[in-house]
Chains A and B, each alone.
Chain A
Amino acid sequence: MYNLIAGLTQASESAAAPSVSIDDASLWHRMSDALHQSFYRVLTLLIEVLPGILAFFVAMITFTLCGMVISSLLRRCLSWVKFDTRLARPGGDGWTPVSSPTEIVARASFWACVVLGLIIGVSAFDVSYATGTALPISLLPYVTHAVGAMFLLIAGILIARFLARSVLISAVNAQLQYARFLSLGVKWLVLVLTAAMVLDHLEVGGKIVELAFGILFGGIVLTLALAVGLGSRDLVSRSLESHVERGGEREHSAHSGASTSEQIRHF
């Protein structure tokens, strides 16, 4: 037994011997090589991508300037032909913008140019990046995805605010005491959904986000189903009954012409 252990110890010492034999100069040489290669790769990538970045900014600036010129020209031309006066309808209609039609056309043309510049700039950047794919940098794909994610985020925030207000006003007019909570619930539901979509678009989190949302929504639906099926049968039946009664009252008031009572008629 002792002989076996001694044999194994000798074998391990003989295996470690070559690594000990590497001298300091060789270590520094290898590290320096690694650093040089890394620096070279990054520099090469930057040199290859730099034209794309420059093209992006040049396209943006050029088209913004073009937009300003076109907008200014349009504003002058439309004012000269009295576009607002010609478009104005004496009888009026439902579409009554705050700005004058000339101003709207001028602004629209300006922003169209800016968006065009953005698209061309991103395309130029994309082409430039494609040529440098031999040197991968994992952050660069997010530049293009971030633009889409930003639009998603803005749209989500706007939709959340719109829906929250709609729910709040409707709930208040329906005289629901928990109107604010309902509105907040809708708002955060949409915001969280938006956040998940943004993360998914940015490819952050991967399947974790999908799983989390699947579990969350599945949980909500299951909770509601259980609540309705088991715990809130009476509540739901009362709610449905009151809804039916309200419908009956509405029909009755439509015939009688009174919306709240026999004495009060709003119209």
Chain B
Amino acid sequence: MTTERSTSAETLTIDRTTAALLVVGAAIPPEQLNALLTNLAEAFPAENVVVAVQGQIAVSAPANLRVIAAPHSSAAWMLQAADFVHAYEVGRDQQARAILMLGPGADSLKPEALRELARAALSGSVDLAVPFYTLPAHAGLINSAILYPLTRALFATRARFPLTIDLGLSMRMAERLATVGKRFAAANQVDAIVWPVNEATVAGFTLDEVAVGTRDVPQPSDPDINTILALVTGSLFADVDAKAAFWQRPRRVPAARMQAAEIVTADGTADVPRMVEAFRLANLNLQEIWSLVLPPHSLLALKRISALDAGVFRLPENLWARIIFDFVIAYRLRTINRGHLLGALIPLYLAWVASHLNVTASGTPSEAHIEAVAAAFEADKPYLVARWRWPDRFNS
């Protein structure tokens, strides 16, 4: 039974008593916050849970939760470096054993999902619990095309969603992320968003995935693909560059544990002709720029596939892996301006999306195709390592 009490988060002072779990929520509207608190109360009926919420929000908190004010964060879409710093500081003040960080839209997570994430972080054997979302077949395509395969190939982790929205952290993991987050915050690098999972891997911390079911994934304020792709891939490429000493050593990728449940949606092939046309236009006009980044055989392969009809358009997995690796190299070498480089990647990404939609429309499960792409990245990793060490050796 929960008794409700109205209070203001701003007026509450931090109670310095031991908390088993600290839940840090992003700035969300009051109705979403109320829904989240209800879910948390249901998920943790008996545990000592402190919930840190942002802003001056009048909330109706269930009795088994202690709500405190959290430092203000500018994160409206994705967790930022400063959020990790704030979370650790509040967790240290509360003497929490683990921290559950929830991004915008976390009210759509079910109580069971919240409980499982927290349980993993509190277990003591897991330092970083990352969620495994069940998304519609054609959602999170940047993650499926670039983030997941590249992270898996280089950092030998099977985290299906390396771009973190919700996280379960042990205190030592939180401390590590806060230390790195302070550096990002001090350098005002607000675009550093794809790094916590890689940081945990580099630090040798234990990482586990928790199936959390469906979730409303927050969308950026500007949904323009040009902006999103440059932001996300730029952040990952920078992190890959910074951690080169780690990922160049060969590592075995852990065996797959999760099997994604497919949410059947429409095939989405209505957009394929438009994407293929965008790719063809780029193939005609961006040769000068692509030729600075891609080797001749990749350019030739792109020229060949640009002649395919939209209905049978396919971008081979190994070619896609090679393209991304060459862009990573060009990013590192600053072959061309990095903004131009990431802009020149957009038509190629659209070509991959068109190919993916065609593959899934032909009956291949979406996850099976994404796994095939990730396997191609793993198989071609020696090419990236070789070119990283000897960039002048353009072809292998």
Contacts and interface: CB of A to CB of B under 8 A. Distances in A.
Interface in B323-340: 332-334, 336-337, 339-340
B183 A265 contact: no
Contacts of A250: 222-224
A257 B216 CA distance: 9
B343 A169 contact: yes
Interface in A138-183: 162, 165-166, 168-173, 175, 177, 179-180
Contacts of A180: 284-285
A162 B343 CA distance: 13
**Chain A contact residues: over half helix, strand or loop, or mixed?**
loop
B332 A98 contact: yes
Interface stretch (A29-37, A67-75, A86-94): A86-94
A253 to B, nearest CB: 5
Contact of A261 (B228, B268, B282): B268
A263 B138 contact: yes
B187 interface: yes
Interface in B342-396: 343-344, 346-347, 353, 357
Contacts of B183: 89, 91, 93
Nearest to B182: A91
Contact of A266 (B229, B239, B265, B278): B229
Contacts of B332: 96, 98
Given A92-B243, A93-B189, A94-B187, A267 B140 contact: yes
Contact of A93 (B242, B286, B340): B242
B187 A93 contact: yes
A165 B335 CA distance: 13
B63 interface: no
B136 interface: yes
B46 interface: no
B220 interface: yes
B89 interface: no
A175 B277 contact: yes
B253 interface: no
A162 B347 contact: no
B238 interface: yes
Given A92-B241, A250-B223, A264-B353, A168 B140 contact: no
A168 B285 contact: yes
A134 B332 CA distance: 57
A123 interface: no
A93 B339 CA distance: 17
A250 B228 CA distance: 13
B126 to A, nearest CB: 22
A209 B219 CA distance: 53
B198 to A, nearest CB: 9
A79 interface: no
A266 B141 contact: yes
Contact of B226 (A173, A179, A257): A173
Given A91-B180, A173-B346, A165 B223 contact: no
A168 B199 contact: no
B286 A168 contact: yes
A253 B228 CA distance: 14
A259 interface: yes
A169 B219 contact: no
Nearest to B239: A92
Interface in A96-112: 96-98
A168 B287 CA distance: 11
A94 B138 CA distance: 31
A98 B122 CA distance: 42
Contact of B225 (A90, A94, A162, A259): A259
B60 interface: no
Given A92-B239, A173-B346, A265 B141 contact: yes
B154 to A, nearest CB: 13
Contacts of B242: 89, 91-93, 96
Interface in A213-267: 250, 253-254, 257-267
A172 B224 contact: no
Nearest to B238: A94
B4 interface: no
Contacts of B222: 250, 254
Nearest to B191: A94
Contacts of B284: 180
Interface in B272-286: 274, 277-278, 281-282, 284-286
A267 B235 CA distance: 15
Contact of B347 (A165, A166, A173, A265): A173
A248 to B, nearest CB: 13
A239 to B, nearest CB: 19
A180 B242 CA distance: 35
Interface of A: 89-94, 96-98, 162, 165-166, 168-173, 175, 177, 179-180, 250, 253-254, 257-267
Given A91-B180, A91-B199, A169-B343, 10 more contacts: A92-B241, A166-B340, A250-B222, A259-B225, A263-B268, A264-B141, A264-B353, A265-B140, A265-B141, A267-B228
14 contacts: A91-B199, A94-B191, A94-B192, A172-B286, A257-B219, A259-B223, A263-B268, A263-B270, A265-B136, A266-B142, A266-B353, A267-B140, A267-B220, A267-B228
The 8 A-B pairs of least Cβ separation, nearest first, read A92-B242, A91-B180, A263-B268, A169-B343, A265-B139, A257-B219, A259-B223, A96-B241
